[in-house]
Structure 1
Amino acid sequence: MSLTTLVREDTTQYVPHDQLFKELIHTFFEEFLEAFFPDVHHNIDFTSINPLPEEVFTDMLKGESRRADIVIETKLKETDTLLIIHVEPQSYGQANFHERMYQYFSLLYNKYRKPILPIAVFSYDEKRHEQNEFSIEFPFFHVLTFNFLALELKREDWRQYIKSNNPVAAALLSKMGYTEEERIQVRKEFLRMMTKMEFNPAKTRLIFGFFEQYLKLNEQEEEKLMEEIKQVDESDEILKLPISWEERAKEKERRKIASEMLKEGLPIEVIVKVTHLDEEEIEAIKKK
Structure 2
Amino acid sequence: MLTNIVLERPNDYRVIDHDGLWKKIIHELFEEFILFFIPELAEELDFSKQPEFLEQELFKEIIQEKKGKQIADQIVKVYSKAGEEKWLIIHIEIEGSPRENFSKRMFRYFYHIYDKFNVDVVAMAVLTGHSNVLTKGEYHYALHGTSLTYQYNLFEISDYSEDELLKSDNPFAMAILAAKYVHETKDDVEKRYQFKIKLMKILSQKRKYPHEYNRMYISVLIYFIDYLLQIPLELTKKLREQLIEIKEGKEMVYINRDSMPISWGEFERIVKAEGREEGKAEGKLEGKLEGKLEGKLEGKKEGREEGKKEAKRTVAKKLLEDGVSYEVVAKYTELSVEELKKLMDGIN
Normalised to the residue count of structure 1, the TM-score between the two structures is: 0.68
Report what 2:288 is aligned to.
Answer: none
**1:134 aligned onto 2:139:** yes
Q: How far does residue 154 in structure 1 lie from its aligned partner after superposition?
A: 3.0
Alpha-carbon distance between aligned partners in 1 of 2:164 and 2:138, rounded to the nearest angstrom = 27
Report what 1:6 is aligned to.
Answer: 4
Amino acid at match of 1:72: V
**1:100 aligned onto 2:102:** no
Alpha-carbon distance between aligned partners in 2 of 1:77 and 1:149, rounded to the nearest angstrom = 23
Q: CA RMSD in A?
A: 4.2
Report what 1:239 is aligned to.
Answer: 255
Q: How far does residue 23 in structure 1 lie from its aligned partner after superposition?
A: 1.5
Bigger relative contact order (CA 8 A; separation at least 6): 1
**1:122 aligned onto 2:122:** no
Q: How far does residue 31 in structure 1 lie from its aligned partner after superposition?
A: 1.1
Secondary structure at the counterpart of residue 92 of structure 2: strand
Q: Decide whether aligned partners of structure 1 residues 142 and 93 sit closer, same or farther in structure 2, where only a CA change above 3 A counts.
A: same
**1:173 aligned onto 2:185:** no
Q: Unmatched 5+ residue regions in structure 2?
A: 186-190, 276-290, 292-348
Normalised to the residue count of structure 2, the TM-score between the two structures is: 0.57
**1:222 aligned onto 2:239:** yes
The percent of aligned pairs where both chains have the same amino acid is 20
From 56, 81, 90, the counterpart of 1:84: 90
Residues 45-103 of structure 1 deviation map (CA, whole Å, 9 limit, x = unaligned):
223433333223448x9895998721112133469562313232x44432222111111
Q: How far does residue 149 in structure 1 lie from its aligned partner after superposition?
A: 0.8
Secondary structure at the counterpart of residue 131 of structure 2: coil
Q: Decide whether aligned partners of structure 1 residues 141 and 32 sit closer, same or farther in structure 2, where only a CA change above 3 A counts.
A: same
Q: Decide whether aligned partners of structure 1 residues 41 and 110 sit closer, same or farther in structure 2, where only a CA change above 3 A counts.
A: same
Report what 2:345 is aligned to.
Answer: none
8 Å CA contact 2:9–2:96 kept in 1: the answer is: no
Q: Decide whether aligned partners of structure 1 residues 26 and 63 sit closer, same or farther in structure 2, where only a CA change above 3 A counts.
A: closer
Q: How far does residue 143 in structure 1 lie from its aligned partner after superposition?
A: 1.5
Amino acid at match of 2:153: L
Alpha-carbon distance between aligned partners in 1 of 2:268 and 2:47, rounded to the nearest angstrom = 38
Q: How far does residue 148 in structure 1 lie from its aligned partner after superposition?
A: 1.0
Amino acid at match of 1:44: L
Secondary structure at the counterpart of residue 26 of structure 1: helix
Between the two proteins, the alignment pairs up a number of residues equal to: 251
8 Å CA contact 1:32–1:168 kept in 2: the answer is: yes
Alpha-carbon distance between aligned partners in 2 of 1:64 and 1:81, rounded to the nearest angstrom = 26
**1:192 aligned onto 2:205:** yes
**1:111 aligned onto 2:116:** yes
Alpha-carbon distance between aligned partners in 2 of 1:221 and 1:112, rounded to the nearest angstrom = 52
**1:29 aligned onto 2:30:** yes
Secondary structure at the counterpart of residue 99 of structure 1: helix
Bigger mean CA deviation after superposition, 13-22 or 240-249: 240-249
**1:153 aligned onto 2:157:** yes
Q: How far does residue 177 in structure 1 lie from its aligned partner after superposition?
A: 5.3
Alpha-carbon distance between aligned partners in 1 of 2:24 and 2:254, rounded to the nearest angstrom = 25
Report what 2:73 is aligned to.
Answer: 69
